[in-house]
Chains A and B, each alone.
Chain A
Amino acid sequence: AQSVTQLDSHVSVSEGTPVLLRCNYSSSYSPSLFWYVQHPNKGLQLLLKYTSAATLVKGINGFEAEFKKSETSFHLTKPSAHMSDAAEYFCVVSTGTGRRALTFGSGTRLQVQP
């Protein structure tokens, strides 16, 4: 079965400092992996996705993630945090028949201090 584990439930950074949100995955085959962001009272928005092309994936708003098969990791990074980045972030793996379902991690709440 495919699954993801988000290693931190809460991360706090200062504005302008780097962001690192950690995610490990478990999959019996080459996975499709995603990062979604959820702002309060807003819908989930796709940040980026990995589908077995380049291992370094660039997303929206300056975020990127690197797929590391040897470490079974897909960590999300951003060089410089902005106040508007404060939100809940979910690491996600596609699963199920035809990989049409998504299995979400438990989420990491990112707090950005001024």
Chain B
Amino acid sequence: EAGVVQSPRYKIIEKKQPVAFWCNPISGHNTLYWYRQNLGQGPELLIRYENEEAVDDSQLPKDRFSAERLKGVDSTLKIQPAELGDSAVYLCASSLREVNEQFFGPGTRLTVL
């Protein structure tokens, strides 16, 4: 069984530029999560989707961050414009609705210069 797929694995951009991350969850997993992990810290939830509906986006900085999961499968997280403080690893995870065990992708390491 394929795991959670994320791309790109690494991204380096200059501040004020836009950036997008893509995630394809495990087949059949209807719940999808985006987390941000700052250096030396644990991941923090940004947004959670149940199918195509964002059911928890309270921690998403909506002035510059946006996310979508149009067909309830893969998802894109966007930052526009990026700031220096956005440098982090962005993790995607998925789970079945009935089970709270989450499976994580390898993450995208973003560096903003």
Instruction: Report A's interface with B, CB cutoff 8 A.
Output: 32, 34, 36, 41-46, 49, 90, 92, 94, 96-97, 99-107
Alpha-carbon gap, A59 to B93, bound state (A): 20
Chain B residues with Cβ below 8 Å from A105 are: 42
Chain A residues with Cβ below 8 Å from B44 are: 104
Which partner residue on chain B sits nearest A32 by CB separation? B100
Chain B residues with Cβ below 8 Å from A101 are: 33, 45, 48, 56
Which partner residue on chain B sits nearest A6 by CB separation? B42
Main secondary structure of the interface of A (DSSP, over half): strand
Alpha-carbon gap, A97 to B58, bound state (A): 12
Name the contact of B43 in the complex, choosing from A44, A46, A94 (C-beta under 8 A).
A44
Chain B residues with Cβ below 8 Å from A34 are: 101
> A43-B4, A44-B104, A49-B101 known; A102 and B40 CB under 8 Å?
no
Alpha-carbon gap, A17 to B68, bound state (A): 47
Which partner residue on chain A sits nearest B43 by CB separation? A104
Alpha-carbon gap, A92 to B44, bound state (A): 11
Which partner residue on chain A sits nearest B109 by CB separation? A41
Starting from the known contacts A99-B100, A102-B33, A104-B44, 14 additional A-B residue pairs (CB-CB under 8 Å) come to A41-B106, A42-B106, A43-B106, A43-B107, A44-B43, A44-B104, A46-B101, A96-B56, A97-B55, A100-B48, A100-B100, A102-B100, A105-B42, A106-B40
B31 within 8 A of A: yes
Name the contact of A43 in the complex, choosing from B41, B48, B105 (C-beta under 8 A).
B105
Alpha-carbon gap, A105 to B42, bound state (A): 6
B110 within 8 A of A: no
Alpha-carbon gap, A42 to B91, bound state (A): 11
Which partner residue on chain B sits nearest A96 by CB separation? B56
B8 within 8 A of A: no
B102 within 8 A of A: yes
B18 within 8 A of A: no
Per-position binary interface string of chain B over residues 11-37, scored 1 when its CB falls under 8 Å from any chain A CB and 0 otherwise: 000000000000000000001010000
